[in-house]
Structure 1
Amino acid sequence: MTAPTPSPNNKKAPQFAAVKLRPVEEKKAPCCADDCGETRVTPEITTTGERFSWFVSGMDCAACARKVENAVRQVDGVAQVQVAFATEKLIVVAQNDVREHVERAVQQAGYQLRSENSTPAPAPSRLRENLPIILLIVMMALSWALEQFNHPFGQAAFIATTLVGLWPIARQALRLMKSGSWFAIETLMSVAAIGALFIGATAEAAMVLLLFLIGERLEGWAASRARRGVSALMALKPDTATRLRNGDRQTVAASQLQPGDTIEVPAGGRLPADGRLLSAFASFDESALTGESVPVDRSAGENVPAGATSVDRLVQLEVVSKPGESAIDRILKLIEEAEERRAPIARFIDRFSRIYTPAIMAVALLVAVVPPLLFSASWLEWIYKGLALLLIGCPCALVISTPAAITSGLAAAARRGALIKGGAALEQLGSIQQVAFDKTGTLTIGKPQVAAITPFAGMEEAELLALSAAVEQGSTHPLAMAIVQEAQRRALTIPHAEDQRALAGKGIEAQIDGRQIRISAPEKLPEGVLDSSMLANINQQENHGQTVVVVQRDNEVIGTLALQDTLRDDAKAAVAELHALGVQGVILTGDNPRAAAAIAHELGLDFRAGLLPEDKVAAVRTLNEQAPLAMVGDGINDAPAMKASTIGIAMGSGTDVALETADAALTHNRLTGLGQMIRLARATHRNIRQNITLALGLKAVFLVTTLLGMTGLWLAVLADTGATVLVTANALRLLRSKD
């Protein structure tokens, strides 16, 4: 940031990073549904109309979310629909009330909806959940036993077993076909099982369905594991709160709390909403939101996010967030929107699978009929191979390979105190080769202190400081706040200032007792204003890493103030970690070159100083052309540079604008999180490549063995189910990864 040019709107007091992350336009990723080649994407629902939302139950994998979306799109009046698999949430925008029609369409597609405010139905017992599989296993065992003693009875038993297993799958396939999902896995399984019955492969037809049902249960288990982190986050916010009103304590639903309400939270209790602490002092455990394991001490007037736990005492707070807009609510919203901001590779595979599935069905048909028709081969043999190929070609493992890894990567990042806005941002993060840092508030703690006061023209030190504080009073820029705080610490009387005016890129001025007082950086003054002794003093201070501002009264220099910020404790370790990853760093700052050089030398970074916001943008664009660059900042004037970079990363204590513009944020405010984010992004990409290799590799192997007659139908299903489970399990490794 332009350190020596205070602006009353340049900084804000620390906010909750989790609260402030909002969707922004993605960069450098294909935009839209299927065939668009543009480079913009709208990650959230933007169509005008009435908005409705529900929770969906019965979804076992990410493909189920697409099936629900297809069903809802068939409803007249629906303008836009989005299903977030991670949070099981359906959002619909329509021009009229379509709730009944949407609920009916989803139910006909085989899924269930419930309103957001309703209590979820209790989970069925494990016995009831697995009853169809147990029944099919028992029937398979009986069929096999009958086959050993009487072949006709055994065949009839296998047919009955197949029909029992086929009924729910075929019914679901018909539902999905009616709702617009013609090539679902249920359709492939139904065709394969019916075909196997027609060619007399009754035992294999039954085994295909049994293995499919087992695979579905395993996918459901893996999905619930993947969603467990989200469920735990939702559970952080209590359902009820104790509200204080006119001296009375009232237990109310957390959803009824409004900004301005006073609430009471006991020791060990969690905050139901974002609040401003009214008690004098308290410690809060915010680890669930920030990843910071050490309790944070808060004083009266400081903000505390929803979900934080009061460690050791009863506290009172003033609610500052509206219902549905607390820190937790916005993190959940981010997770929902992240599924729409998918990585380019995820969008490619999604489009590919839509062509791939019907193509596989066509190829399977050709395999079944071409050899018998053209080469007089056995019909039964080649129909059997065609059915096996149909099952081998099921795209489930391939479709889930990328979203499973991306979801796990985003969840792992959130656990480490980093919020990343979707798969596209995660993919861009993995390609980063350079990082550009703002200095004040990013590499430094952003709380400079007055290090030296040098009065001129007969001015007293106290008077110079008081005049400077009067001009800077009300500004939230770190340098301005440091000057005011120093005057307050010395108990000086700060005079009244009028007509305060920020001079963009130059400084700030005001009228005090009819005289103009201006504060600006030395390099912004016209040549000749500073004499040689003043310049020598300023140069000496800047060589020590201090930021110097010059105070003028009616264009006469009356003194200088030298301020010094300190490096963050983890800045050196963070830079060293980035270098170890092969990532180079550069400081882009509005501060003077000598102050920037002192910090850059200490950290071993290059630097560019004296930059205005537009200069930062130009520098970022130049660097970005050389190699993918991440811009890390925290101020309003960092936002344009973040937007121009490959990916913008905001510090958790940054301004609203910086946090909204950024593609990611470090909620714990620790720079060491940068290296963790990049390592995790790279690990996620390795995981995606492994998943795609597993999915396609197993299919290729079994395709060859099936055409050679070495494997049959049940192994084809085992290959597909096994690949899906392996891919999901591999993706879940990211949640346990130390990267």
Structure 2
Amino acid sequence: MFHPAQRKRRGLAPHAGHASCRGGEGKPDPRTKDDCCGHKLEAALPAQPSAAHDHEHGHKHDHDHDHQHAGQACSGHDHGAEAPRAVSLGEGGRQQARLHIQAMDCPTEAKLIEKALGGMTGVAALEFNFIERVLLVRHDLPNLDGVKQAIAKVGMKAVELTDASAPVEQPKASRRGNWLLALSGLAAAGSEGVAWLSGADQGWGSAALALASILLGGIPTLKKGWIALSTRTLNIHFLMSVAVIGAMLIGQWPEAAMVLFLFAIAERLEAMSLARAGEAVKALMSLAPETAWLQSGGEWVERPAAEVAPGSRVRVRPGERVPLDGRIDQGHSAFNEAPITGESLPVDKSPGDAVFAGSINGSGVVEVLTTAAANGSVLARIIDTVRNAQASKAPTQRFIDRFASIYTPVVLVAALLFAVATPLLGWLSWHEAIYNALVMLVIACPCALVIATPVTVVSALASAAKHGLLIKGGAPLETAARIDAVCFDKTGTLTEGEPQVTGVVALADADQDQLLRWAAALDAHSTHPLAKAVLAAASARGLSWPEAEQVSEQAGRGVSGLADGRKLALGSSRLAREQGALNEALQAELSRLELAGQGALVLLEGERALGVIAVADRVRAEAPAALRQLAKLGVATVMLSGDNQQVVQAVAAQTGIIEAHGGLLPEDKLERIIRLQSSGKTVAMVGDGVNDAPALARADLGIAMGAAGSDSALETAGVALMDDKLAKLADLISHARRTAQVLKVNIAVALLTKLVFFALAMFGLASLWMAVFADVGTSLVVIANGLRLARGVRKAE
């Protein structure tokens, strides 16, 4: 029962297959993120063992072992609240730098930056975070002067950031900028008014006011349009510039001014709305204290939390937030761990218990020995997950991006054909055709369409994190909405994972105490709950046990080794059968325990059964209600366990689970997952963070239980439930389905608006400013609808 590293030091053979998986459960090592066969765990997360050890042994190795309108978003374009977006430009660089680019708020600017830096020697990769307007540059350069100069050539200013963990403050629009925009709007309205009173758009008064409006508020857009033209980039600024210049050329001065003004307003409003999504991330970041009271030279001094090294002693007073992850060394108190687990009820802690950065101390003063740096805490990883989750775009977002990349040029070509064909066919005059074509150009801006998904996803991820649901991006979120079958591991997931020895039956020439001594010797180096149960029972009797030698494990069967000079094995009935030890007496005892819903560990010496150790695990109190909630959502529930079928059926009867399968090896569980998927179901696998890697990796969605204390779960799970609350499974699926509904509504609204105004433009019933106004309005509607998800996760009913 040694960790692979221990086996190597002791000269033991490496595990064969999933050799640490004695309950048929594959166990990843949280320190290597590999399963016990060395497989990389990608979408997999943890899972659990089996009450019968599945010795059936099921060991669960819980190893501790100059964008002039600051903050403005781009109205209309392949919009990018979906950040960060990664673009590989070559072999990875050795360094990375974070640049704040205030003008970079969507893929429009990102494409310009990609063109500027794509061919630069020494730049390896770019990663765009549009919400915080941060560019991550992976490079092998002596300095970033060349990078900053290249970005400046496309009209943007880059400022290097030194603190990777600090939130980026977004400057507000200047007072001068606000006044200029207000004057631009008054001039545009005045131009429209003069034109209406005089009955002529081409009058000098109307034109003069329109020109004043453009000079006051439209120059930034026109400048960006010129940059887009000079870099041969088809983006929103290019389209708006063409529409405005075209309107002026045909004498529609009021229209030109109003279009530019409304576009500037659109950018301001969208920036404000997108900032709301960023606020959700900043709210998470603010949970971690910036300073800590550190013991230094016998005194307590206040130091920046980022400077406190692991192993330091820090003091947390009542009402303060814990600055860093650690373990209590002195003191007792209750802690509100809502920032981590979403559960606001205080949790009592005493010396030896783990505490998490961001949790709130209750009434006692405690001293904590830190176990991680500030950037390595559980809270920091939650923040990073939400901050960077959009790097892996959801399927809907990828589809919309592809659609928008086709939609815009298609509408542009259609507008050009309309402007030429309709006058030649005698359907419209040249003036009317060109004007209507310009309206179509404005409609070609896919703003509302592209922004619909990322804002919704960011809002949903942030609110889920505050509820204790850590969702690793839009793809797992969309998958969760489609889940119609959930497979559960048993021990530690449906049960408490803390089995107890309920009895010892001697079958040969050894008494109960001797049986427990030998079993404890074989289980001494395991942290599996069943091994802990054996060790606890031996300790309770005041027994000591010898050091076992030549310990080895057999997947789904048990463990063997030398103890007191005797070659012993401890495992499942399967192991006893294979060794020819399944006699009538042993079979009768096993049948009795199975009927009682208990697991059995058989101690063997060769072909002789020395005795049976009965173990039992309690079902989680909330499990029946949680499974009923899933049933109300139309989700089928399946139990996959390495325990014998009788034990599995007993747990199924207590929880109300629909389908239960016992006696499964890791490959059997994998086959069950595949069978469910082949029947057309979208399958989730739920475990507790430490094993069942093959099944978890194969499932459409891996969900880790109790992930706050598991490094492997936080890093490999598709979804991590930060506490052990089974009820949050229904909350997860309900929240994901609500998000999917919001996405569908947003996309439908955006597409319908585009279709209606395209038809109106063809019949000459839409004006330029009306098209811009409709586009702005639609964008604000989809943003507001998406931001509703930031309010919180609704409890599943």
Q: TM-score scaled by structure 2? A: 0.83
Structure-2 change in CA distance of 1:595 and 1:121 (3 Å): closer
Equivalent runs, 1:425-436 vs 2, <5 Å: 425-436=476-487
* Partner SS for 2:240: helix
Q: CA deviation at 1:4?
A: 9.6
Q: 1:113 aligns with which of 159, 171, 183?
A: 159
Q: CA deviation at 1:125?
A: 6.8
Pairing 1:292–2:343 present: yes
* Partner SS for 1:264: strand
Structure-2 change in CA distance of 1:567 and 1:109 (3 Å): farther
CA distance in 2 between counterparts of 1:87 and 1:566 reads: 47
Report the equivalent of 2:685. 631
Pairing 1:676–2:724 present: no
CA distance in 1 between counterparts of 2:88 and 2:323 reads: 26
Q: CA deviation at 1:189?
A: 1.6
Structure-2 change in CA distance of 1:660 and 1:74 (3 Å): closer
Report the equivalent of 1:169. 221
Q: CA deviation at 1:251?
A: 2.7
| Bigger mean CA deviation after superposition, 290-299 or 547-556 | 547-556
CA distance in 2 between counterparts of 1:481 and 1:193 reads: 75
Report the equivalent of 1:137. 185
AA paired with 2:265?
Answer: I
Structure-2 change in CA distance of 1:734 and 1:45 (3 Å): farther
Report the equivalent of 2:700. 646
AA paired with 1:362?
Answer: V
* Partner SS for 1:278: strand
CA distance in 2 between counterparts of 1:658 and 1:193 reads: 53
Q: CA deviation at 1:730?
A: 1.3
Q: CA deviation at 1:408?
A: 2.1
CA distance in 2 between counterparts of 1:3 and 1:561 reads: 20
C-alpha RMSD of matched pairs (Å): 3.2
Report the equivalent of 1:704. 759
Q: CA deviation at 1:410?
A: 1.9
Whether contact under 8 Å (1:147, 1:154) holds in the other structure is: yes
Pairing 1:85–2:130 present: yes
Whether contact under 8 Å (1:497, 1:512) holds in the other structure is: yes
| Bigger mean CA deviation after superposition, 302-311 or 394-403 | 302-311
CA distance in 2 between counterparts of 1:716 and 1:408 reads: 28
Whether contact under 8 Å (2:281, 2:387) holds in the other structure is: no
Q: CA deviation at 1:216?
A: 1.1
AA paired with 1:521?
Answer: S
Equivalent runs, 1:51-200 vs 2, <5 Å: 51-58=95-102, 62-63=106-107, 66-67=110-111, 70=114, 73-74=117-118, 76-77=120-121, 78-97=123-142, 99-107=144-152, 108-110=154-156, 112-117=158-163, 123-124=171-172, 127=175, 130-143=178-191, 152-177=204-229, 182-200=233-251
CA distance in 1 between counterparts of 2:126 and 2:104 reads: 19
User: Unaligned stretches of 5+ in structure 2?
Assistant: 1-17, 33-39, 45-77, 79-84
* Partner SS for 2:411: helix
Structure-2 change in CA distance of 1:198 and 1:495 (3 Å): same
Structure-2 change in CA distance of 1:599 and 1:730 (3 Å): same
AA paired with 1:50?
Answer: R
AA paired with 1:154?
Answer: S
Whether contact under 8 Å (1:159, 1:197) holds in the other structure is: no
Pairing 1:520–2:574 present: no
Equivalent runs, 1:718-729 vs 2, <5 Å: 718-729=773-784
Whether contact under 8 Å (1:389, 1:703) holds in the other structure is: yes
Pairing 1:472–2:518 present: no
Q: 2:332 aligns with which of 260, 267, 281?
A: 281
Whether contact under 8 Å (1:434, 1:628) holds in the other structure is: yes
Report the equivalent of 1:31. none
CA distance in 1 between counterparts of 2:613 and 2:28 reads: 20
Structure-2 change in CA distance of 1:11 and 1:359 (3 Å): closer
User: Unaligned stretches of 5+ in structure 1?
Assistant: 16-22, 28-33, 35-40
Larger relative contact order, structure 1 or 2 (CA cutoff 8 Å, min sep 6):
2
Structure-2 change in CA distance of 1:59 and 1:561 (3 Å): farther
CA distance in 2 between counterparts of 1:202 and 1:597 reads: 79
* Partner SS for 1:732: helix
* Partner SS for 2:577: coil
CA distance in 2 between counterparts of 1:535 and 1:129 reads: 86
Q: How many residues align?
A: 720
After superposing on structure 2, the runs of 4+ consecutive aligned residues of structure 1 that deviate more than 4 Å are 1-4, 6-15, 23-27, 41-47, 59-62, 118-122, 125-129, 141-151, 653-659
CA distance in 1 between counterparts of 2:382 and 2:261 reads: 39
AA paired with 2:205?
Answer: F
How big is each residue's C-alpha offset from its partner over 1:5-36, in whole Å with a ceiling of 9 and x where there is no partner? 37999588999xxxxxxx97569xxxxxx9xx
Structure-2 change in CA distance of 1:4 and 1:696 (3 Å): closer
| Bigger mean CA deviation after superposition, 714-723 or 466-475 | 466-475
| Bigger mean CA deviation after superposition, 492-501 or 431-440 | 492-501
| Identity over aligned pairs, percent | 36
CA distance in 1 between counterparts of 2:172 and 2:409 reads: 36
AA paired with 2:780?
Answer: V
Structure-2 change in CA distance of 1:8 and 1:586 (3 Å): closer
How big is each residue's C-alpha offset from its partner over 1:172-205, in whole Å with a ceiling of 9 and x where there is no partner? 3334555x57222222222111211121211121
Q: TM-score scaled by structure 1? A: 0.90
CA distance in 2 between counterparts of 1:265 and 1:45 reads: 46
CA distance in 2 between counterparts of 1:363 and 1:335 reads: 40
Equivalent runs, 1:479-518 vs 2, <5 Å: 479-518=530-569
* Partner SS for 1:182: coil
Q: CA deviation at 1:512?
A: 2.3
CA distance in 2 between counterparts of 1:234 and 1:12 reads: 29
Whether contact under 8 Å (1:4, 1:549) holds in the other structure is: no
| Bigger mean CA deviation after superposition, 97-106 or 561-570 | 97-106
Pairing 1:216–2:267 present: yes
CA distance in 1 between counterparts of 2:137 and 2:423 reads: 50
Q: 1:615 aligns with which of 658, 668, 688?
A: 668
Report the equivalent of 2:66. none
